[in-house]
Structure 1
Amino acid sequence: MQVTVVDHPLIKQKITKMRAEHTSSRDFRECLDEIAMLMTYEVARNLPLQEVEVATPVAKTTGYKVAGDIFVVPILRAGLGLLTGVLKMIPDARVGFIGLYRDEETLKPIEYYCKLPDNKDGVTIVVDPMLATGGSAAAAISMLKARGLKNIRFMCLVAAPEGVKVMNDEHPDVPVYTAALDEKLNEHGYIVPGLGDAGDRIFGTH
């Protein structure tokens, strides 16, 4: 199974708080924002670099900056919860959006919106808090590839083995990063133990 679990004590502590059913939307969003920042370190670990000259107060030296464009593409709506944290770490990143919703009967993703950067030569980080059935994530990445985006990475908060398998089968070239790999999906397609509907908990809806 090709998946990187970003295993860090601070992330584990924050996810525990997010799992608790009585955690407020405010605290849920705050933890999600902080986890996104922490995870971005790992997702961006091998980004390409280029050398730049910088003058310190003492002397000139060689420094580095990320080479090329970075695109962050949240899957609406829940993916917006990860966007701010990623942008805090990569403030020059360009942002695209993919709107998908899951049919409650078939559990299949349906597209309703797509807006992507014009330039397609860069690293693309797709973000969505939950990787459950894998249908939405796989569909979103297929949409990106069809529009010319390459070098794609997928970042989520909680994943189910079923969703990781779908991603590995349909997009073996796309690395998956998650903060937690949970036990399974239930009969309704929700991650167990999970943390409920991430979109509802982020935005305080039902």
Structure 2
Amino acid sequence: MTIRAIVADDQTVVRTGFVNLLTTQDDIEVVAEAADGEEAVRLTAQQRPDIVLLDIRMPKMDGIQAARSILSEADGATKVLMLTTFHLDEYVFDALAAGASGFLLKDATFPELLHAVRLVADGKAMLAPEVTKQLIAEFVHRRPTRIATPDLTGLTAREAEVLLLIAQGLSNKEIAERLTVTDHTVKTHINRLFTKLNLRDRAQAVITAYELGLITPGSRAHG
């Protein structure tokens, strides 16, 4: 199946670079490119792509507003992958709250770009450890007194442990090594805890871990 994509970035060199890289792949088709947020929203409504790569900072309408508009109209058919220059971007939390499936750094390698596009187009979340840490910091800053609402009682001790490790930014492979289990076992635990807590992706898992008190400001994964 061909992944239909739109690339939106106000910097022509960056936009063209992403387009040229993506079009080298047989399973990815760039159906349009946009230079600002408003154009991205309009073209998405016309083309109905599988994924939109959105720069956060764009004229007329920024990437956050564009993501919110696109996702409110797409009914799950179109996914959004945000493009950012920095690991620590102040819009990380807003973008994820708007429904974006993750972030891609503009200095990502070609394999990382392709992996992110395919992952998000397949309905999964793309959240680098650096972005996870920023999400945690922003969540603490914005919601320091929020009362926990999810319920942990339905989770097994191992599922709660996996949730904590996800919140600390560990990948599935790293979690498997930490717990001395297989990757498949980790995926099973993640699927079960996501179902029990009604989570969409790892971004929501980080927020939920904070709301449940599993992780506190300053907590981090240890190697």
The TM-score range, normalised by the shorter chain, is 0.3 to 0.5
**Structure-1-length-normalised TM-score:** 0.38
More strand by share: 1
**Structure-2-length-normalised TM-score:** 0.36
Tell me: higher relative CO, structure 1 or 2? Use CA pairs within 8 A at least 6 residues apart.
1
